[in-house]
Structure 1
Amino acid sequence: MTVNQRHSKNSATIAEKNNGKDEGIVAQTGKTWGRDRGVLYAVLPAKIGYGQRTPAGYILPYKVNGLLAWTISHAVYLAGAYYFSWWSPSIIHDNWGSLLIAANIYGFFLTFFVYFKAYYFPTHPADRKYSGSVLYDLMMGIEMNPRFGELWDFKLFHNGRPGIVAWTMINLSFAAAQYQAIGTEIVGEDGEWKRVWGMLGWVRGKTGCYVTNSMILLNILHATYVLDFFYNEDWYLRTIDIAHDHFGFYLAWGDTVWLPWMYTLQSHYLVRNPVDLSTPYFLFVLAMGFSGYYIFRAVNHQKDYVRRADGNCKVWGKPATFIRTKFITSDGTEHSSTLITCGYWGE
């Protein structure tokens, strides 16, 4: 039996054992995950951020409290798993199919709900966009910023809460599943001991569980993106997702199903195909990941910085260059904006 075959057998055994323990909890979680994130979004302390001007001329306020919501959600998950033993830390991995069905039901329900909301009780009627095609309007959305009340925004909530909060939690759960299942694979196929990089460093022995350094690397890089996203959530309000996209299936289903299921595919693979990287290769990939992310953030920061300063700033030590543009919103008012042409964007 190969290493991966033994690992798959261990994974199936552990999942079967944990399924019985967690079945009731999973059923409850499937019903309450989105609701509880919604409550946190509504009640947690938040600063107020502002997005770009909408086509109808609105500059909308948003509650920015994603980092606190992420922290509380993960604290509850980890405490429930490791301190109170309410559920297995691999609960998400062990019940992946059931959670996928629940997420799809919610994603499709949300799509049709916001479609009918746009017709019968829109938040900002002047910001609606009709294509004349029911299918297109369902897919791309009619309302730009559907809301409950003044601040509970569908688009910011679903872009940032259920899916992105779940992203790192899913990775942690799959890391826990690997830790539980990998077991005696510390022994090589030739029966000799081999060294592996576990959670506490290099481990040498014939028995025991560990997490591969590739899984640790994955969790570090993904968590970097997620934590930075929430730390700079105010900046996100001026990106395409919030500033230009209308809210339909593309975002409703995409944020609740596509994002958490597709963005975590690497952790799925590593549970079933555990890989240990050499230390130099681990460090190389880590450095490449951080370098790429730094460039990504720097590029977007320059654009936001120049726009906020209305061009009266320096980029890379030189006066910023930009194109001054004009546009007219649906209320007939003319506005101006700046398009950066320096730094990463032009020089």
Structure 2
Amino acid sequence: MSQSNVQQPSWGRAWEVQGLTLLGTFLLLATTPFAVFYFYIACSEFGGSLLLPAQKLYTGELTLASLWNLLPALTAEAWMVYGAWFLLQLFCALALPDVLHKFLKGYRGGLCKGAVTPAGNQLTYNINGLQAWVIAHVLFLSGAFLFGWFSPTIIIDNFGPMLWVVNIVGNSVALFVYVKAYLFPSYPEDRKFSGNFLYDFYMGIELNPRIKNFDFKLFFNGRPGIVAWTLINLSFAAKQYQLYGTVTNSMILVNVLQAAYVIYFFWNERWYLNTIDIHHDHFGWMLAWGDCVWLPYMYTLQGLYLVFNPVELSTPYALFVLGVGVLGYTIFHLANRQKDRFRESDGNTKVWGKDPEYIPVSYSAADGSVRKTKLLTSGFWGIARHFNYTGDIIGCLSYSLACGFGHILPYFYFFFLTTLLVHRCIRDEKRLEMKYGEGWKRYCEKVPYRIIPGVW
């Protein structure tokens, strides 16, 4: 049996495409770029209302042509701002070895090995995202406030025009890696072809496309989008101050809560190498365009909304929102830390002061050998099989709650992330059931709930 046939059931995306999957792929490719523009216009032109533009189109007060005229124009300044940003991130990723791990206790940066791919490749990664984040923020804050090289509102002032730029970049990267997969693949044995152009373009063919030491997946997953996330929020806060002479406590909450998430991500960038994104997702339009466009524009909707709809929260409610965020982050962090310690010690650790409970399982590796592992069933992981997702969703909810209840738009990211994690949970569990067989069934009997204890 060929190697590809051995790997086929248990890793990566689908080898064959069903009709509904292809239809869903087409709809996502056709609609999501327009959705980003629509959300931007809803914020900047219609006070944060998602229904008002559609309502005006329906009543004839607004035509498609007049709606098109509301779109920001592509400008040379937008190209220069984004180009400088992108080049800075390339420089930080490729030219600067990580030094933070040498004096930040507990931080694990620098060169490290990733997991072995299905074809047997073990890649080396340069983990320096936290360093890139620090450099970017020092340059932005000093350039804007110390030297006066540019306004701190430079990002939001070009946010609309840059929406065209990032769409061009994201689609260009996706097309490039699609062609690259055929002409000069990095690791040919780790490719997957479905025979359908749309699906292969959307999901990606190569698992880990690289050009020398430049790793497309690691770079675009973390930079330029996530590093920019907190800078975008800072620019939103500066714009709010410019417009109203104050920064609301809701804007401060959004900045603080989302900054905590971003810093946590980069502090644990090495851990990210063990996630489904790196292990199983191929690099195509979904990640290339998603990381360039969807992430920096749709994940920052709360801050953008508050620029045009400033909300001052009562002190008790603001503290409540902060508490929700802290609760979510605490669960997310402690659950991940608990599982990591269990894995690293092979079960020789304490979980909530007791010996851990687990289900021993076995699986067949790509080389045909049988390997054994343990599935943790106590602590957070006895409450639900993906309790870290529970914490992530709770933390995400706090961003939306900070915006009040005037419009549904600030809650989009909460609904999106919940849907994404539920889908990821189902997809991951199908793979794990195939991998562990009866062992997985025993594990599910022991821990019956996926994300919401007592419900699902």
TM tier, smaller:
0.7 to 0.9
Secondary structure of 1:156's counterpart equals helix
Verify the 8 A CA contact 1:92 1:173 in the aligned structure 2.
Answer: yes
Matches within 5 A, 1:151-170: 151-170=213-232
Matches within 5 A, 1:188-337: 209-337=245-373
2:96 corresponding residue in structure 1: 44
Q: Describe the superposition over 1:115-162 as per-residue Cα deviations: whole angstroms up to 9, x where unpaired.
A: 11111111111111122221111111111111122x421111111110
Verify the 8 A CA contact 2:79 2:165 in the aligned structure 1.
Answer: no
Verify the 8 A CA contact 1:307 1:339 in the aligned structure 2.
Answer: no
Secondary structure of 1:113's counterpart equals helix
CA 26–85 in structure 1, closer or farther in 2 if over 3 Å, else same: farther
Aligned-pair distance for 1:304? 2.2
- Residue 78 in 1 paired to residue 141 in 2? yes
Secondary structure of 1:52's counterpart equals strand
Verify the 8 A CA contact 2:127 2:269 in the aligned structure 1.
Answer: yes
CA 333–28 in structure 1, closer or farther in 2 if over 3 Å, else same: farther
Quote the Cα distance in structure 1 between the aligned partners of 2:276 and 2:153.
35
Amino acid at match of 1:26: A
Amino acid at match of 1:161: R
Secondary structure of 2:148's counterpart equals coil
Q: What is the TM-score with the length of structure 2 in the denominator?
A: 0.63
CA 119–325 in structure 1, closer or farther in 2 if over 3 Å, else same: farther
- Residue 32 in 1 paired to residue 84 in 2? yes
Secondary structure of 1:80's counterpart equals helix
1:179 corresponding residue in structure 2: 241
Aligned-pair distance for 1:248? 0.8
- Structure 1: which 5+ residue stretches go unaligned? 1-6, 9-18, 183-208
Q: Describe the superposition over 1:202-251 as per-residue Cα deviations: whole angstroms up to 9, x where unpaired.
A: xxxxxxx1100100010000000001111111111111111221111111
2:3 corresponding residue in structure 1: none
Secondary structure of 1:81's counterpart equals helix
Equivalent of 1:104, from 153, 167, 175? 167
1:338 corresponding residue in structure 2: 374
Quote the Cα distance in structure 2 between the aligned partners of 1:285 and 1:99.
31
The alignment yields a C-alpha RMSD, in angstroms, of 2.1
Equivalent of 2:205, from 129, 142, 155? 142
Q: Which is further off, 29-38 or 139-148?
A: 29-38
Verify the 8 A CA contact 2:248 2:311 in the aligned structure 1.
Answer: yes
Amino acid at match of 2:229: W
Q: Which is further off, 43-52 or 281-290?
A: 43-52
Quote the Cα distance in structure 2 between the aligned partners of 1:172 and 1:158.
21
Verify the 8 A CA contact 1:63 1:152 in the aligned structure 2.
Answer: no
CA 140–334 in structure 1, closer or farther in 2 if over 3 Å, else same: farther
Aligned-pair distance for 1:320? 2.1
Verify the 8 A CA contact 1:56 1:329 in the aligned structure 2.
Answer: no
How many residues align structurally? 302
Quote the Cα distance in structure 2 between the aligned partners of 1:239 and 1:229.
12
CA 24–268 in structure 1, closer or farther in 2 if over 3 Å, else same: same
Secondary structure of 1:51's counterpart equals strand
Verify the 8 A CA contact 1:51 1:243 in the aligned structure 2.
Answer: no
Q: Determine which structure has the larger strand proportion and give its number.
A: 1
Quote the Cα distance in structure 2 between the aligned partners of 1:241 and 1:53.
14
Q: Which is further off, 251-260 or 39-48?
A: 39-48
Aligned-pair distance for 1:102? 0.5
Secondary structure of 1:258's counterpart equals helix
Amino acid at match of 1:246: H
CA 60–322 in structure 1, closer or farther in 2 if over 3 Å, else same: farther
Q: Describe the superposition over 1:246-278 as per-residue Cα deviations: whole angstroms up to 9, x where unpaired.
A: 111111111111001001000111011101111
Secondary structure of 2:126's counterpart equals strand
Verify the 8 A CA contact 2:77 2:158 in the aligned structure 1.
Answer: no
1:14 corresponding residue in structure 2: none
Verify the 8 A CA contact 2:237 2:307 in the aligned structure 1.
Answer: yes
Matches within 5 A, 1:59-138: 59-138=122-201
Amino acid at match of 1:133: N
- Structure 2: which 5+ residue stretches go unaligned? 1-43, 46-71, 99-109, 384-456
CA 338–124 in structure 1, closer or farther in 2 if over 3 Å, else same: farther
Verify the 8 A CA contact 1:49 1:237 in the aligned structure 2.
Answer: no
Q: Describe the superposition over 1:47-96 as per-residue Cα deviations: whole angstroms up to 9, x where unpaired.
A: 12333222122332211111110011111111121122221111111111
Asked which structure has the greater RCO (Cα within 8 Å, sep 6+), the reply is 1
